[in-house]
Structure 1
């Protein structure tokens, strides 16, 4: 995985199981690839049931025509938009691990997934697969709801002073610099007590000041909120401000230890919009 930010992506990995729940992810992959001039690598990983090998292979065989048709449609969409597209099909005992490994092998800058999915592969509401895929530490995972289309005018970045949230803030500022249709960036810090409110305000205001200096055409809004239920607050602020995407660190350990993996997972499940999860690279 390169050091390129999302606005400079060259390779986009799209994980799809062939179900309609990944339609939003497919559309976003096409849009982002067209915007960045990037290549798409479509990853179709079929789970093998170790306790019932025959049942797993029967499942795969039975779905092969449907999946083939889906993958052909994705390839055609890419071609019609002038996008280079490769398709990778694989069976795996650990589909979550295989998805991440394949994304790394193809040097993807971002991994895009649907929020829901077929049993055993992309069950991404607040289920185990979300935590598993994100838990493997791929630097950028974009989770897109089924029928959601990114307009790209407003984004919200959740910060807590951790390395992962610093990366999310950097990503948001970079998007402000490179995405011509982005108009507003909301920088949100949730603190569990009144005692931490001043620090939260300082954090959000500092990020907004830095961002405004680099992306003057974008309006930055600092938001500091006191509350014990960070996922609900983050999702509510995103909805209230009509944002298209939430940027959040995967395993933050900063200001109030709110942006941990389970919080990120809950944000994905509760958000009305797409969620971009940023994880620090290995060795950092």
Structure 2
């Protein structure tokens, strides 16, 4: 891991993301690309060309000053930070910046506190998750003891999840993480018998890895919802983070669609790492 992008909007949650990135940067000798996207209002864009240039230059200088002050924090000492200011606020563009700089990870803060789905829905974080071709680490709280020793990768083990699984395996091998694979079996039309679940996973691993070496590492959990099963399993295994596949068109894949019960969702405090389904 060499380059980490952190979109910054000067909020507490983007500060949590920046501090998280600093911890990772120090641990893996990586640099941080701190990205601030300056919003240019429609009013400015309807002015004359010279006025637009003058106003834009003023706003850029103001943003750069505030940005530099924001980056003068103790936890960034001994970390290489490259500030980037873009005069747009289109969060799909974060992926373009990631590709341009060959970034390995995007770290974003989110104030979502009502569950896995609500972390993303209707937020700028969701927009980044949908478009990012690199993994996105979503941080909800100030990091205290950041660790990725044990990570839960929840999947429906369908063919569309192979690429996210391979990306997750590569990332967590780099981080030295122990990746727990889990299949959540739920009542209703998605219910599968034990033999059906095992066959789904066998087919998946044969296609993804070309072998069944990790079959013994897959846990099969039954619960009333996927989200509840994932969070419960993460708690039981002492997970440091949850990894999931997301869909570029609609945010979450069908695997994590549907309602989320409030009592469980409010406890989704772990970092979430997303891998986009191509």
TM > 0.5 fold call: yes
Are 2:26 and 1:34 aligned?
Answer: yes
* 1:215-268 Cα shifts (integer Å, max 9, x gaps): xxxx946133243x3233323332343311111111299xxx63367889x999
**Alignment partner of 2:131 out of 132, 136, 141:** 136
Q: Does 1:239 align with 2:231?
A: no
Q: Helix, strand or coil: the match of 2:192?
A: helix
**Which residues of structure 2 form unaligned runs of 5+?**
48-54, 113-117
Q: CA deviation at 1:189?
A: 1.6
Q: Which residue of 2 aligns with 1:249?
A: 245
> Hey, what's the Cα distance between the residues in 2 that align with 1:263 and 1:86?
40
1:105 to 78, 100, 103: 100
Question: Following the alignment from structure 1 to structure 2, what is the Cα–Cα distance between the partners of residues 270 and 18?
Answer: 26
User: 1:183-204: per-residue Cα shift (whole Å, max 9, x none)?
Assistant: x433222234374142334556
Find the aligned partners of 2:155 and 2:255 in 1 and give their Cα distance. 8
CA–CA separation in structure 2 for the residues paired with 1:43 and 1:10: 16
Counterpart of 1:148 in structure 2 is 143
* Preserved contact between residue 181 and residue 218 of structure 2 (Cα < 8 Å): yes
Q: How far is 1:61 from its partner?
A: 7.8
1:22 alignment counterpart: 14
Match of 1:169 among 139, 149, 165: 165
Distance 1:129 1:11, change over 3 A: same
Q: Does 1:190 align with 2:187?
A: no
Match of 2:271 among 266, 269, 274: 274
Segment drifting more, 231-240 vs 106-115: 231-240
Verify the 8 A CA contact 1:140 1:279 in the aligned structure 2: yes
User: Contact 2:180 / 2:218 at 8 angstroms: preserved in 1?
Assistant: yes
Write the distance in 2 (CA, Å) between the matches of 1:89 and 1:116.
Answer: 23
Gap regions ≥5 residues in structure 1 = 1-8, 118-122
Equivalent residues of 1:251, 1:259 under 8 A apart: no
The residue matched to 1:29 in structure 2 has which SS? helix
More displaced, 267-276 or 40-49?
267-276
In the alignment, the residues of structure 1 paired with residue 258 and residue 165 of structure 2 have an alpha-carbon distance, to the nearest angstrom, of: 20
C-alpha change, 1:174 and 1:239, in structure 2 (3 Å) is same
Question: Secondary structure, in 3 states, of the residue corresponding to 1:30?
Answer: helix
- The match for 2:52 is none
Larger Rg: 2
1:1-42 CA distance string (max 9 Å, x none): xxxxxxxx2221111212211233112212222333322211
Give the TM-score normalised by the residue count of structure 2. Answer: 0.70
Shift of 1:90: 1.6
Per the alignment, in what secondary structure is the counterpart of residue 22 of structure 1? helix
Given that 1:143 and 1:268 are in contact with CA atoms closer than 8 Å, whether structure 2 keeps it comes out as no
Query: What's the TM-score, normalizing by structure 1?
Result: 0.68
8 Å CA contact 1:45, 1:90 repeated in 2: yes
